[in-house]
């Protein structure tokens, strides 16, 4: 079953209350709250407030977008203790993270091992409070290709590690389908958008493509959220149109 939602950082300029109201108006199911603006790492009071306003509106919090980078020793990288504390207050079942800060083509074996080791560490920490850890496909990390993303999860070999999926911009549709199919056993959630090269487009223009992706997920009977990200021109009007399109295409494959 595929549920619907919004990645809150799509609208960094809006307050949490404005985002809650917007998602409710759009008739979506939930919100992935971001840790860089809306629910800062370690701010448990804010997390509690956001959880309550989200719940009171009948919405779910499928994930916390933490922006924690595994194995990255840098002052700007949030403490995973703070990330986890915040996720607990949000009562979310999933934390989204990034796999380091080096792309797979440049990473040596020592770096792979550091990322694997830290990933196991945080997965074990989160498992103790019934929260899964899920990597996002992202440039300049070890999940920047289909094969490296799968290899990382297999190397970590931890039951509490999952993966997001999104259509990589540098791949054609058959290659995207290959990547989705191979990561499917570990799938946590999906980020949904439609781009042409580097230009954001209305999601409706990509419905045929998304119908293929969602059919694969539905056929596998996977429960996840498909959450809108990267709205064209960052407008509320376009988001509301994208929300309609997202609900329509999911209904097509049920």
Q: Name the average pLDDT for the chain.
A: 97
**Positions of E strands within 73-170:** 94-98, 132-135, 161-165
CB 65 within 8 A of CB 40: no
Mean pLDDT in residue range 139-150: 97
- Domain 2-253 grouped into CATH 3.10.20.600: no
- 6, 28 contact by CB (below 8 A): yes
For residue range 20-74, what is the model confidence (pLDDT) as tens digits? Answer: 999 999 999 999 999 999 999 999 999 999 999 999 999 999 999 999 999 999 9
CB count, 10 Å around CB of 178? 14
Q: How many residues does the chain have?
A: 254
Alpha-carbon distances, residue 53 vs 49, 146, 174, 243, 248 (angstroms): 6, 37, 41, 21, 27
| pLDDT at residue 197, rounded to an integer | 79
**What's the pLDDT at 198?**
83
Domain limits, the chain = 2-253
| pLDDT for position 180 | 98
User: Hunting for tokens 């990597």 — which residue is that?
Assistant: 135
Say if pTM beats, i.e. exceeds, 0.85.
yes
Answer whether 102's CB lies under 8 Å from 111's CB.
Answer: yes
């Amino acid at each position: 079953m595929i549920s619907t939602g919004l990645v809150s950082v799509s609208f960094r300029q809006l307050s949490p209350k404005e985002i809650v109201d917007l998602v409710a108006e759009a008739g979506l199911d939930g919100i992935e709250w971001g840790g860089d603006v809306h629910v800062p790492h370690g701010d448990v009071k804010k997390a509690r407030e956001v959880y309550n306003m989200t719940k009171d509106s009948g919405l779910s919090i499928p994930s916390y977008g933490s922006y924690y980078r595994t194995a990255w020793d840098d002052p700007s990288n949030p403490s995973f203790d703070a990330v986890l504390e915040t996720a607990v207050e949000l009562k979310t079942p999933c934390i989204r993270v990034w796999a380091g800060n080096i792309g797979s083509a440049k990473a040596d074996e020592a770096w792979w091992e550091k990322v694997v080791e830290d990933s196991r560490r945080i997965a074990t920490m989160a498992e103790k409070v019934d929260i899964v850890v899920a990597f996002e496909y992202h440039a300049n990390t070890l999940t920047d290709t289909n094969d490296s993303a799968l290899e990382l999860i297999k190397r970590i070999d931890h039951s509490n590690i999952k993966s997001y999926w999104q259509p990589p911009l540098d791949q054609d549709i058959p290659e995207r389908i290959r990547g989705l199919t191979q990561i499917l056993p570990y799938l946590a959630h999906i980020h949904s958008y439609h781009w042409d090269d580097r230009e954001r487009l209305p999601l409706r223009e990509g419905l045929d493509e998304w119908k293929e992706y969602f059919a694969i997920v539905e056929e596998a009977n996977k429960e996840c959220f498909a959450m809108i990200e990267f709205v064209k021109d960052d407008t509320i009007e376009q988001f509301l149109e994208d929300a309609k399109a997202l609900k329509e295409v999911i209904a097509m494959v049920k």
